[in-house]
Structure 1
Amino acid sequence: MSYVSVYENNTPKTKGFALAIGAHAVIIAAVMAMPGVSFPEKPFNVIRATNIPLAKPLKPTVEEQKPEIEVPSSNSLPTPPKPVESLPPAPDFSRNFGENDNVIFGGGAGSGIEIEIEPLPAVEITPDPVIVEARLNNRYARQFQPAYPSGQLRREEEGVVSVRVLVGTDGRAKQVELIDSPHPDFWEATRRHALKKWRFTPGTKDGKLFETWIMLKVRFEING
């Protein structure tokens, strides 16, 4: 089923538009012809306002107040001290000390207090002892070198032995201790020889003989 729109291709007509304008004009003319209706000849006066700026408020003036100075009255002033009329005599320190040099007398007038001072005991200062260490006796220098161990000599081994020796008051080796040795044969040869042949100048302490330890090194070398 199909419908046909009655508004299709329906354009406004100029005649209707003209009739509408004519009708409005007739109404306005009728209103103006009515008795008691009048229109003002001149338009109303228009009042124009202009902004007037307000005056700025003035800053208040602050008067500076001067500090009040209080003048003290004569009653509030302190009373000055009274002058001293006389002073006690000064103690006499010009006397000569005699037998009572260890007594202190209190100065001033009146009875003094005597304080006896006992002399301090003398302090004895013991000086450090003067020690002279033991040393090899140059008269026996040829006897110092031990015999070369035969086993080490065949192997052509060399070495240095370090020992500590306790030297007695008679200048002989009382004890020998090992510090270092490359082979036991070198050490044993050194120990036996030291106890038998080594001779020393013994050490002294404040001029008196005493036993002391010294360190020595024995070198085993093959010459030629």
Structure 2
Amino acid sequence: MVEAPPSPLESIPSEFGVGDVDQVPEIVKKVEPMYPYRARRRNIHGEVVVRFLVSAAGHVERPSIVEARPGGVFEKSVLQAVRRWRFKPGYFKGKPVPTWVVLPIRFNLNG
């Protein structure tokens, strides 16, 4: 028995990566993460890599921490801020689509 090829609708994924879209999401509202008081007082610098889905409406969904250096210091602040960001969504074939984004966020008191 020969299987029919998938219809064009079945072959389009429901979520995309930034490398899969014709136009990547663009940030239109960015809320800076708060520098935790404890880290500021101790002059702790670091970086958090966050992953989230930009919905077709431009909202951040399902944010998660990919990596944090040092761990346990900046993650909560990053997640709180990223949830408030807004984007022009990614586009595939002229239509807005949910797109996964991975971004590093650096914490540095000297700039």
Does the alignment reach a TM-score above 0.5? yes
Higher helix residue share:
1
CA distance in 2, matches of 1:151, 1:133: 39
Identify which of 67, 79, 82 aligns with 1:194: 82
CA distance in 1, matches of 2:23, 2:55: 12
Shift of 1:204: 1.4
Runs of 4+ in 1 over 6 A off after TM superposition: none
Shift of 1:135: 2.6
- Greater relative contact order (Cα < 8 A, sep 6+): 2
Structure 2 residue runs without a partner (length 5+): 1-7, 13-19
The question of whether the paired residues in 1 share the 8 Å contact of 2:26 and 2:90 is answered with no
What's the secondary structure of 2:83's corresponding residue?
Answer: helix
Question: Normalised by the size of structure 2, how large is the TM-score?
Answer: 0.73
What number of residue pairs does the alignment pair up? Answer: 94
Higher strand residue share:
2
Shift of 1:177: 1.4
Over the matched positions of the two proteins, sequence identity in percent amounts to 30
The 1:215/1:207 distance shift into structure 2, 3 A limit, reads same
Structure 1 residue runs without a partner (length 5+): 1-125
CA distance in 2, matches of 1:217, 1:136: 15
Which residue is equivalent to 1:208? 95
CA distance in 2, matches of 1:131, 1:195: 22
**C-alpha RMSD over aligned residues:** 2.3
CA distance in 2, matches of 1:176, 1:204: 20
Question: Normalised by the size of structure 1, how large is the TM-score?
Answer: 0.38
Which residue is equivalent to 1:62? none
Which residue is equivalent to 2:3? none
Which residue is equivalent to 1:155? 42
